[in-house]
Chain A
């Protein structure tokens, strides 16, 4: 048995045919080729698979593709404005908020949810806000700094530097 699923991903409408057991993360990675969303566990705990579903962060390994039929999804590939970077992406780069980069897309997507509801979080709020995301490389310190920095950039409404220049 298969099902037709319509999804808007990063602003682009797609229609895919999936088995009901297909997880959203696999639909994104395998059917749509959006491999920026990662899988780091099998118990819904690492958050590497975090995407935004209708504006809220969710673990795409714990959502069936069929469940989100008609939904709108943003993945890490859809974060950056044309030719630039999202404030979070830029801040992760500036603050060395990543090492191997495997947790990074999920971290950024979870952080976006946090900043949307709490534009000026304390360090403590940031640390709790990313408790659904594991990072084994950074000890989290620079991730916290990056999210703090992105918050202040977004609050200031300052344009985010385009491209990859220092």
Chain B
């Protein structure tokens, strides 16, 4: 088999359309007779709707339809991951309706929609809708929302609790903490983030009255899942009557996984308009208010161990803010994807984690790049630094002493973090943590950091260095584990691939996964090229349309290369096997005597007797002469359910400098050594790391969604929410170790989230290190200049 394409830095095949302005994103699609929808959103964070008067809006120029919640008979949006936990799954689930009917729970919840001939007319008419509101008391902080006397959002959720969920060994951990000579406690906040893909979300809904079929173009990471959710759960129509299409997607980072109200709204409106297409594209400010946010945890951590630096226990209590109503898998993020990886790459014998999911009058929270794992990494990596500080040990040394040793894999977490309620387990597949850390420390000049600190002091700066020796779980996930995990995702998570070789030898690979900028069309083509010995130019990769692609769960959770990629390998294997059988027929040899070398099918021992794949395909696809029982055409579909997740790891080191007078933090160096297993296209892998690192650094230094006590989103536009700019970053210095994953034949793990998972904690630790001369041991992110100045100033004043 040709192996040179695998692992090669091949230029992306999708790029020519993007660099010439010929990409086709949702808003670029224009259909005949198209109408435009605009949504009226609640100005209050919590209010009852007394009445809505749409008469004036209906009379406005160009308006063809005005909708309010009562017009739409659909079900509320589905909840696919109702984390039950200790109290079991209770009836405390509240999801949005397509438009709110009685009350609103956050600023920005949709209450009415106008459909008009132009966008401008729709927006004009929104201003003519009169809503009579009854404002209600508001709570935006998750911890406060659970306290007695807090405003209550939903009758079925006393104290605003969505769930109480636990994982790990409570008794063992309590005992370990009790017995430990050293215990460090800290309250830490992982602030709320607004994901900010550069393309906002949108949909185009088209109903065909002639066939009673619905088509929706959606900026979605999961067209197949949306077809299922919209048909069976929201709209109550047959699944085969909806077609979902995702055009080019301008970034997603999790936000486009979910089922949103606007999708059903566009389809309903198109039906009401007898089939006129209805387009809706959110504005950026709407995106900030009503597309999901990420993170938002308040955590009490306790880490215990010996004076020599052996960690013996970790106990964590987290309040996870899930917003005013639940997004599609909101509860799954701070539970399975968080609590189950809390011990990181350390052999901590006793771990226990309790999570309370909470309703507040804020936008719903769901998966944002990393989803749960950045939060967990932040907890454990901050905890390691706090502990190191407490016992006066170098933080790198503390990590070294507690790494899971390389001979302990597959590693089964002793507190049962990887064990689902039905007993199914996932293991940490592989790892070798020290070499990655050593490489990162050497590159960053860790040994001579004291000199760098002294030099910085001479320039009026405080220099700090921080590390994050992260692992993450990706390649999600074995279906029997994720589907039956008790609190789990109510679905399986296998992937699919269909591979066809047409008469002329041209190859079409059709996938159930869904790219959003990751270069799938290139990466998959590399896999197929390598497997079948066919040039890249002869392969095309298709995806994104439920009509014509096999069912797939979509792309998120760094699963595409490992799960989708393996499905592609399997499909190619089936093709190769059938071609081999046919080559045997053509060459009048026994199948076992045919060996495959690249695209050549040779009779062992007599290499001059061979057929090229092209010759095989031509004859087989025509089917003039087929051996008994063989069907014509090379067309194979494979489904792949992974036996385990994959576990990338690495060490990221950040070096920051803080201006002593202003508190301004500059990231001056960033070193990342990642082990993501084998790389199919290292250029693409590096790009994923760059982007992930930038997002994670953004959280540490600049980004944060801020609500006023009245529930108004103060960081409500890009003027107040700092999306990082080019000049704020240094060049990232990347290194690698390669520990192939034993889980899949490609040896790949996943890289879409690694950068974002590792980098936040590394930068946070660097900032705290820089502030250590002030006696500061912790400070909540983001480390904006005013906040850091305040922290330094308060300490100075005190001393």
Contact = CB atoms under 8 A, between A and B. Distances in A.
Direct contact of A and B (CB under 8 A): yes
B21 A75 contact: yes
B284 A124 contact: no
12 contacts: A38-B27, A38-B250, A42-B285, A46-B718, A80-B20, A99-B519, A100-B197, A100-B250, A101-B18, A134-B725, A138-B690, A140-B690
Interface of A: 19, 21, 29-30, 33-43, 45-46, 48, 75-77, 79-80, 85, 89-90, 92-94, 96, 98-105, 108, 123-124, 126-128, 130-131, 133-144, 164, 166
B683 interface: yes
B403 interface: no
A108 B19 contact: yes
B517 A99 contact: yes
Contacts of B250: 38, 40, 100-103
A21 B517 contact: no
Nearest to A37: B21
A36 B693 CA distance: 28
A96 B687 contact: yes
A128 B726 CA distance: 7
A92 B726 contact: no
B729 to A, nearest CB: 6
B11 interface: yes
A80 B10 CA distance: 22
B642 interface: no
Contacts of A79: 20
Contact of B248 (A89, A94, A101): A101
A43 B715 CA distance: 13
Contacts of A123: 731
A133 B718 CA distance: 12
B763 interface: no
Given A42-B283, A123-B731, A124-B727, A102 B25 contact: yes
Interface centre among B18, B731, B732 (most CB of A within 10 A): B18
Contacts of B719: 43, 45
B516 interface: yes
Contacts of A139: 690-695, 729, 732, 755
Given A93-B11, A98-B19, A139-B732, A41 B718 contact: yes
Interface string B434-467: 0000000000000000000000000000000000
A108 B20 CA distance: 10
B483 to A, nearest CB: 30
B22 to A, nearest CB: 7
A85 B25 CA distance: 22
B516 A100 contact: yes
B275 to A, nearest CB: 22
A141 B732 contact: yes
A136 B198 contact: yes
A39 B26 CA distance: 12
Given A42-B717, A131-B726, A101 B23 contact: yes
Given A46-B718, A101-B517, A136 B22 contact: no
A100 to B, nearest CB: 3
B400 interface: no
Interface of B: 10-12, 14-25, 27-28, 30, 120, 196-200, 248-251, 253, 283-285, 516-519, 683-684, 686-688, 690-695, 717-719, 723, 725-727, 729, 731-732, 755
A138 B691 contact: yes
A22 to B, nearest CB: 8
Given A100-B198, A102-B250, A138-B690, A143 B726 contact: yes
Contacts of B24: 35
A67 B28 CA distance: 24
A105 to B, nearest CB: 5
Contacts of B516: 100
B750 to A, nearest CB: 16
Contacts of A133: 726
Contacts of B519: 99
Contact of A35 (B21, B197, B199, B692): B21
Dominant SS at the A interface? Answer: loop
A80 B684 CA distance: 25
A33 B200 CA distance: 20
Contacts of A43: 284-285, 717-719
A136 B732 contact: no
A122 B21 CA distance: 27
A98 B18 contact: yes
A105 B19 CA distance: 6
B251 A102 contact: yes
B340 to A, nearest CB: 28
Contacts of B729: 127, 139-141
B16 A100 contact: no
Given A92-B15, A101-B248, A139-B691, 18 more contacts: A30-B30, A33-B30, A42-B284, A45-B723, A77-B21, A80-B20, A93-B12, A101-B14, A101-B19, A102-B23, A102-B25, A102-B197, A102-B198, A134-B718, A134-B723, A135-B198, A140-B694, A144-B731
A141 to B, nearest CB: 5
A96 B734 CA distance: 16
Contact of B251 (A131, A136, A140): A136
Interface centre among B19, B120, B755 (most CB of A within 10 A): B19
Nearest to B695: A136
Contacts of B284: 40-43, 46
Contacts of A77: 20-22
Nearest to B690: A139
A142 B197 contact: no
B198 A134 contact: yes
A96 B683 CA distance: 7
A127 B726 contact: yes
Contacts of A94: 11
Nearest to A101: B18
A45 B688 CA distance: 24
A10 B19 CA distance: 16
Given A141-B690, A164-B16, A131 B11 contact: no
Contacts of A138: 687, 690-691, 694
B788 to A, nearest CB: 22
B635 to A, nearest CB: 28
A104 to B, nearest CB: 5
Contacts of B120: 19, 21
B540 to A, nearest CB: 14
Nearest to A80: B20
Contacts of A33: 30
B15 A93 contact: yes
Contacts of B695: 136, 139
Chain A CB within 10 Å — which of B21, B692, B694, B731 has the most? B21
Contacts of B725: 127, 131, 134, 140
Given A42-B285, A48-B198, A80-B20, A100 B693 contact: no
Nearest to B21: A36
B620 to A, nearest CB: 31
Contact of A36 (B20, B251, B692): B20
A94 B11 CA distance: 6
A24 to B, nearest CB: 15
Contacts of A41: 284, 717-718
B690 A142 contact: yes
B726 A105 contact: no
A114 B61 CA distance: 44
B25 A89 contact: no
B251 A76 contact: no
B659 to A, nearest CB: 18
B122 to A, nearest CB: 14
The 3 closest A-B pairs by CB, nearest first: A36-B21, A101-B18, A102-B250
Given A77-B21, A96-B684, A98-B18, A136 B723 contact: yes
B21 to A, nearest CB: 2
A59 to B, nearest CB: 13
B25 A40 contact: no
A39 B202 CA distance: 12
A134 to B, nearest CB: 5
Contacts of B726: 126-128, 130-131, 133, 135, 140, 143-144
